[in-house]
Every structure is written in C-alpha cells, then in structure tokens.
Amino acid sequence: MSFILGLTGSIGMGKSTTAKMFAEEGIPVWDADATVHRLYQPGQPAALAVKSLFTNAIDPDGSVNRATLRALIQADPTALDRLNAAVHPLVAADRAAFIAAHKDAEILLLDVPLLYEIGLDKACDAVAVVSAPPEVQRQRVLDRGAMTEAEFQTILARQLPDAEKRARADYIIPTTSLEAARQAVKQVLTDIRRAKDA
C-alpha cells in the first residue's frame, strides 16, 4: 500500500515548485489546483457546477473565467462556500481515482493548498508544509501580478496561519532557496523510506 504524503502551504510559499521536486524524484503527484483547472474546462463537471451557481463567471466557450469568479468571491462572502460545496466532491472523486490508479507506488504526494482546512491531513500518513518568511511570501504573490493586495489578504484569511501549519506538520520544507527546498525534499523521502523499512 502506498505511503500518502500530503504537501501544503499558504499561497506564495513555493508549494508548486516543491511538488515538482518530488515529481523529479519519481513520486507520483496529484495536484489539487491542476485538477480544479482541468475540471473548469468547457463541458467538465466543475464548469457546469459554476455555470449553475454563477452564470456570469462562464466565458462564451463554456470555460470558467477565474478572474470574474475571484471578483464574485471578493464581493460576496457566501460565494466561496457555495463554490466549494459544488466543486470539492468532484475534486475528491478525482483524487480517489488517482490513488487507486497508483496503488502500487511506494509513495504518493497529494499537493493540496487547503489540506488542513478541509481535514484531508487525516487521510495522509504524513504532512509536509512549505514555508518562507511572510515578507518573502507577500513579495512572491504580488510579483506574479495576478492578484491585488486585497485578493491576497482574502485568500490568506481563508487559510490557516503558516505558524499553525508548521506546528501541525510532520515535515517542514524551507523554500527560501531552491537548494534548501531540494535538500529537504530528499530528506523527507529518505525518512519515509527508512520508516517504511523499519
């Protein structure tokens, strides 16, 4: 049976880059954000769910306009909860299919931004949290140019604080440099393999 490692961290902490490092080590990775993106494509189940909830967040080709959806979430405090109620079950089904398809893998990585917030840590054998200082995090997010300070603060408010994530983690991966993150990824895998063989 596969060892399931959850990977999480607040926005701008370097989670996607770290997940790629695990993939480079041969670990199958399930990416929650990529799954949502795929399910938001025209005709896909999440796009149809969004269409029924927020018609004006659908582009003419049937895909979800994420910028419009973000604006709706910003304007309506109930919008995100309604969206999550519709989309989370679809994402969970996709995750279950991934785990089943890779049941012979030694280790699987679940890359999930809201891992603790949705209680998914309970389904993992261990959790690794990516972390960087708050000023580094903020700079990374705003340098991307994809969101405003207000949108960043809205997302932060919906996430567990970094300190709490670190306190609950089995492993902490510092992302202040690529080398530090890469070394931590290798160490996490070494520790898991050692524990499995014990």
Q: What is the pLDDT of residues 69-117, one digit of tens each?
A: 989 988 998 998 899 899 999 999 999 999 999 999 999 999 999 999 9
> What is the model's pLDDT at position 77?
86
Q: What is the pLDDT of residues 142-193, one digit of tens each?
A: 898 878 888 888 888 888 999 999 999 999 999 999 999 999 999 999 999 9
Which sequence spans correspond to the domains of the chain?
A: 1-28+106-198, 34-101
Mean pLDDT across the stretch 106-131? 96
Q: Is the pLDDT of residue 198 over 80?
A: no
- Yes or no: say if 32 and 93 are a contact pair by the CB < 8 Å rule: no
> What is the model's pLDDT at position 70?
87
Q: Which residues contact 105 (CB under 8 A, 6 or more apart)?
A: 2, 27, 28
Q: Which of 19, 29, 17 is nearest to 177 (CA)?
A: 17
- Yes or no: say if 23 and 64 are a contact pair by the CB < 8 Å rule: no
Q: What is the pLDDT of residues 9-66, one digit of tens each?
A: 999 999 999 999 999 999 999 999 999 999 999 999 999 999 999 999 999 999 999 8
- ∠ CA 37-31-8, rounded to 5°: 120
What is each CA distance from 172 to 54, 73, 180, in whole angstroms?
A: 38, 31, 11
Q: Where are the alpha helices (DSSP H) in the chain?
A: 15-24, 32-39, 45-53, 66-75, 79-101, 134-144, 149-158, 162-168, 178-197
Tell me yes or no: is domain 1-28+106-198 CATH 3.40.50.300.
yes
